[in-house]
Structure 1
Amino acid sequence: MEIFNSIIASDATIMMLRLVVAAILGGIIGVEREYHKHPAGFRTHLLVCVGACLIMLLAMFGFQGYMEENIQYVNFDPSRLAAYVVSGIGFLGAGTILVQGYTVRGLTTAASIWVVAGIGLSVGVGMYFAAIFTTGIVILSLMFLNKVDESFSRKKKETEAIVIHAEPRDTTLLSIINIFEENKINVKKVMVERDKTSEKIELLRYQLKVVYPNETVKLTAIDLLYKLPQVHKVYSL
């Protein structure tokens, strides 16, 4: 029994437990992002959370031996490494933000990556309750507050979905977004996936949630989309 208790209380066991918990919590948030086809999904969120947890474990356990041997010389603050994680994670989050003219997308995913790093640090320091509670808040906000936001937008102007089947060229998405912005059409969300219905030629299926100023603008935009050489089909859902 004493051997079992010593194993549980060992630093190695504590570190493995915290890394596993960080992987689970980060993965839970990543699954929601992956399901909605956002730039950073399951693997990215899991790795960020585990990495942040590892840095926190390094700060807490990595220098114990050295500090004990040089206690009269060393003045060590474990929070310093955590501060570098909080500031450095912004570079990764910035990579998920897509700016097209006046339209900005990916801010929520960037924020979720930043929060996941904080969850990893919390697990690394042993604050399990705070990490799990924060994960619950993040999941609820990502799943339900988006619907609340859409309901408010729908009260102002109806959001419609338009689907575009087009060839996967480098300028395809940029050309589509430019047409919407030139006609003052607000693009709320963009989802891209491979067109499984096309057998003869490789196509991508672009689904955009947009807000049209009026019906005339909608018809004009669809006509302009059909004029793009890479576009094969356009229809509303």
Structure 2
Amino acid sequence: MDLFNNTEIVTPLLRIFLVIILCGMIGLEREIKKQAAGLRTHILVGLGACLLMLLSLDGFSNFITTYPNVTTIDPSRIPSYVITGIGFLGAGTIIVQGGGTQIRGLTTAASIWIVAGIGLVVGNGMYFEAIVTTLLVLFVLFFLNKLEATFFHKNKSNFILTLNVKQPFSFTTLSNTIENNGGSIVKTTSEAGENSNMTFQFFIQHTNDQKKKAIVDSLLQLDNIKKVTTQLNEETPQ
């Protein structure tokens, strides 16, 4: 029982457990999204940062007491190395695809960086700031992505839809099918083929994978559609 009455032991332990809870909440969100760095990684980063802050604050107290005239302490030195070093771990979660046109993992890298900060803050005893920051991070991760997808077309892409059709066909039916399934047509080209066949290209913008699949499936159900292909369009046609 005397052990639990010792604030020098209880206080650091409480800070460690608080870090596990706060960083675990952020890590759980990343785990649900199936990111490279999930629950375990975020907890470990937060724990490591908290321990290093505790070391910076109290780890050298005996040495300072023994040699008070020859010892100075800078509590910010070790935490500064944590912030610098965590960048290498965050960089490992970033994946560049499509020749540099698509980058994944930036949000996870940022969440790793911020849980390191939360670990340092909790280790310094700033509980309120750490809790509020964690709640704000969770709000950003859970809700702002929906806002981005709605208003800024995040998680959407531009693509070219190529249709090979045979006579007779209705161009209006083709375009209406695309638009009724959420496609936004910005340009159309056509080319005559053999045996009265036609090839149409529809340039469609700001469409996610779910809508793209619905467009293709609906077109394939139309009469006289011979082939439907899609390809990523990295530039929006003018």
Q: TM-score band, normalised by the shorter chain?
A: 0.5 to 0.7
The alignment partner of 2:125 has SS state of coil
Q: Conserved in 2, the CA contact under 8 Å of 1:103 and 1:187?
A: no
Q: Conserved in 2, the CA contact under 8 Å of 1:59 and 1:78?
A: yes
The alignment partner of 1:73 has SS state of coil
- Residue 108 of structure 1 corresponds to 107
Change (3 A) 1:18 1:105: same
Question: Could you state the TM-score of these two structures normalised by the residue count of structure 2?
Answer: 0.65
Q: 1:221 is matched with which residue: 231, 234, 238?
A: 231
- Residue 66 of structure 2 corresponds to 69
Change (3 A) 1:16 1:99: same
Partner AA of 1:67 in structure 2 = I
Partner AA of 1:105 in structure 2 = R
Change (3 A) 1:211 1:136: farther
Alignment map for 1:10-89 (pairs within 5 Å): 10-89=7-86
- Indicate the structure (1 or 2) with the bigger Cα radius of gyration: 2
Q: Which runs of 5+ in 1 are unaligned?
A: 161-183, 190-207, 223-237
Q: Conserved in 2, the CA contact under 8 Å of 1:97 and 1:104?
A: yes
Shift of 1:71: 1.1
Shift of 1:12: 1.4
Question: Could you state the TM-score of these two structures normalised by the residue count of structure 1?
Answer: 0.65
Distance in 1 separating the partners of 2:76 and 2:211: 44
Alignment map for 1:54-203 (pairs within 5 Å): 54-100=51-97, 101=99, 102-154=101-153
Q: Which runs of 5+ in 2 are unaligned?
A: 160-202, 220-227, 233-238
Q: Conserved in 2, the CA contact under 8 Å of 1:51 and 1:120?
A: yes
Shift of 1:68: 0.9
Shift of 1:9: 4.6
- The two structures, once aligned, show a CA RMSD in angstroms of 3.5
Shift of 1:15: 1.1
The alignment partner of 1:104 has SS state of strand
- Residue 180 of structure 1 corresponds to none
Alignment deviations for residues 92-131 of structure 1 (CA, whole Å, 9 cap, x no partner):
0000000112111110000000000000000001000010
Partner AA of 2:122 in structure 1 = V
Identity %: 47
Shift of 1:221: 3.1
Distance in 2 separating the partners of 1:188 and 1:81: 47
Alignment deviations for residues 168-213 of structure 1 (CA, whole Å, 9 cap, x no partner):
xxxxxxxxxxxxxxxx999999xxxxxxxxxxxxxxxxxx67989x
Q: How many residues align?
A: 176
